[in-house]
Amino acid sequence: MKHVKIGFIGCGNMGRSLIGGLINNAYPPELLFGADPDPAQRQQLASLFNISVTADSNEAIQNAEVVVLAVKPQAICTSISEIAETLGQQRPLIVSIAAGVRLASMSKFAGENMPIVRVMPNTPALIGAGAAALYANQHVSPEQRELSEALMRSVGIALWLDSEDKLDAVTALSGSGPAYFFLIMEVMEKAAIKLGLDAKQAQLLTLETAFGAAKMAMESKHDAATLRQQVTSPGGTTEQALKVLMDGEIDQLFEQALNAANNRSIELADKFGKTD
């Protein structure tokens, strides 16, 4: 990754994870700058990574080639407005990780010709195992695309989309997805306890099973359907369990769940896009 000055607006969990990922990948700390109104967040960032932090967003992005907007969606337009003049003078690449805020909405405040990349990350980025999808407007250069991709790859995988609308589907799948798996693990643990295991045993076995299944899927050349078939013996226990799930229309339930999340993502984008 090319080493340029990067200014972070917002130093909460996701901002810290990106900064930590960059530093873990040998990015020079002296080229990373953070801005946050919360003194506790600034102190934590400085102590963790020994980078410059400030309460002044314009100071943090001065002469920066990349500006990362790591604030909550409802605060992003205000945050951009506060640095709009500096952005106009410097024309850096803007990377937004604010869920649901469309490029058109950000451009109203940052400038119509500003290079902006929207990113939909997810919370496992906090441990370097994130999954992110990116979409760039027409003003982003090939070099800037490489920079934004490298930024997200410092905390996991990153892939490009060919349509901004697909970010809503990504939000429904990988953005909200960790919670789906946490719920599955939760109900499996409860069911195992009812079968006689103690809580610690149920938790450990559930977590290791989830981890092992994910690792097998990651390392296998087969898709999930094939892997499921390979571990399902005819007439065996797994087949009986899966029959219960399929009879309960788990596939339809997940389709409805992702559609609900996708639709809510669209609703929030409409809400955050209002400027009146």
SS3 sequence of the chain? CCCCCEEEECCCHHHHHHHHHHHHCCCCHHHEEEECCCHHHHHHHHHHHCCEEECCHHHHCCCCCEEEECCCHHHHHHHHHHHHHHHHHHCCEEEECCCCCCHHHHHHHHCCCCCEEEEECCHHHHHCCEEEEEEECCCCCHHHHHHHHHHHHCCEEEEECCCCCHHHHHHHHHHCHHHHHHHHHHHHHHHHHHCCCCHHHHHHHHHHHHHHHHHHHHHCCCCHHHHHHHCCCCCCHHHHHHHHHHHCCHHHHHHHHHHHHHHHHHHHHHHHCCCC
- Evaluate whether 6 touches 33 at the Cβ level (below 8 Å): yes
Q: What is the pLDDT of residue 100?
A: 86
Domains of the chain: 6-168 (3.40.50.720), 175-268 (1.10.3730.10)
For residue 68, the cross-strand partners are 8, 95
Mean pLDDT of 243-263: 97
Give me the phi and psi of 69, to 5 degrees please. Answer: -95, 100
Residue 276, pLDDT > 80, answer: no
Q: What is the pLDDT of residue 272?
A: 77
**pLDDT for res 270:** 87
Burial (CB < 10 A; 0-12, 13-18, 19+), residue 19, is buried
Q: What is the mean pLDDT of the chain?
A: 95
Query: How sure is the predictor about 232, in pLDDT bands with cuts at 50, 70 and 90?
Result: very high
pLDDT of 275 > 60? The answer is: no
pLDDT score, position 1 = 76
What is the average per-residue pLDDT within 182-211?
98
Whole-structure pTM value: 0.91
* 274 — pLDDT class (breaks 50, 70, 90): low
The share of the chain scoring above pLDDT 90, in percent, equals 91
SS3 for 245? helix
For residues 209-216, average pLDDT: 97
- Condensed to tens digits (0 to 9), the pLDDT of residues 80-115 reads 999 999 999 999 999 999 988 999 999 999 988 999
Phi, psi of 9 (to 5 degrees): -100, 105
239/230 Cα distance (integer angstroms): 11
